[in-house]
Amino acid sequence: MSDNNISNRELELICEYYSNLERQGPGSSDVTQKALSFIDPFSSDALIADIGCGTGGQTLVLAENTQGKIAAIDLFPLFINILNSNSEKRGFVDRIKGEVASMDALTFKDGSLDLIWSEGAIYNMGFENGLNQWHRFIKKGGYIAVTEISWFTNERPKEIDDFWNNNYPEIDTISNKISQMQNAGYVPVASFILPEECWTDNYYKPQVPVQKAFLDKYKGDTFAKELIEGQLQEAKLYEKYKDFYGYVFYIGKKI
Ligand code: SAH
């Protein structure tokens, strides 16, 4: 989800819409576990930050598959409330602490984190900017793992090139993203493309019933209509151009 240049009411509607979904971006439990498999296991005193955690789909997977404590951070209190309540239900209250904060104003101590995790969220401050700003919070030998929209090819059809360059001009090829990671002070450890079902089955399909209910509730509301139309257009473009772009997991190690 994107939140540029919009009013508070519009932001509230966007949050309400996304709060009805288990995930606010493309991903899956399998993909989170695959990314974790490239990272050396932690001890129980490790500290992980899950930044832009949303309602915490991947946070719970992280808790199940690691030891240590997780600081789960998002800008929106509604998402953090849902995350905290899910984490309580699953018995993770001692391990997961949901906190409302902005990803560009984090207050971790320098060198205090074993791992920074961020699925579908670093674009909010820009991939390079995020990698650079978060670097100091990670301890030597610690890791960063983020997903980011990326081009699969050097050339692509104009329609999709224009769409993403208007929406997120920092979209780039995988090799350029890896090089940005290296330039930000991480050894690129692994990168892999998220499978298609992370978008279709896990992201766009669950939105269909939510869109229906949302449009019923906000009948006649122009912004609500535009929000859903935007989602439908994005899903349509994905179906048409999925050979040319997608989400990529980038895993780096600070040495
Ligand atoms: N990681 C989740 C959510 C991805 S959507 C998932 O994969 O399902 C992106 C998330 O970034 C949203 O939850 C949004 O509220 C959050 N976000 C946007 N701007 C932010 C900021 N400045 N600081 C912290 N979180 C932010």
Question: Tens digits of per-residue pLDDT, 27-70?
Answer: 999 999 999 999 999 899 999 999 999 999 999 999 999 999 99
Q: The whole model's pTM is what?
A: 0.96
* Mean pLDDT of the 176-191 span: 98
248 beta partners: 148, 193
Which of 75, 108, 147 to mutate to test ligand 1, by most ligand atoms within 8 A of the CB atom?
A: 75
| Residue 130 CB–ligand 1 contact under 6 Å | no
Taking 60 as the threshold, does the pLDDT of residue 3 lie above it?
no
Instruction: Express each pLDDT in 134-162 by its tens digit.
Output: 999 999 999 999 999 999 999 999 999 99
Report the nearest atom of ligand 1 relative to the CA of 57: 8
In a 3-state reduction of DSSP, which class is residue 38?
A: coil
| Residue 64 vs residues 58, 69, 107, 243: alpha-carbon distances, Å | 10, 11, 26, 33
Give the pLDDT confidence of 114-131 residue by residue, as tens digits.
999 999 999 999 999 999
Atom 11 of ligand 1 has which residue's CA nearest to it?
52
Ligand 1 contact via 11 beta carbon (within 6 Å): no
CA of 44 to the centre of ligand 1 (A): 26
Q: Which residue has the CA at smallest separation from atom 13 of ligand 1?
A: 54
C-beta of 24 in contact with ligand 1 (< 6 A): yes
Can you list the domains of the chain with their CATH numbers? Answer: 25-195+244-254 (3.40.50.150)
Asked if 223 and 17 count as a contact pair (C-beta separation under 8 A), the reply is no
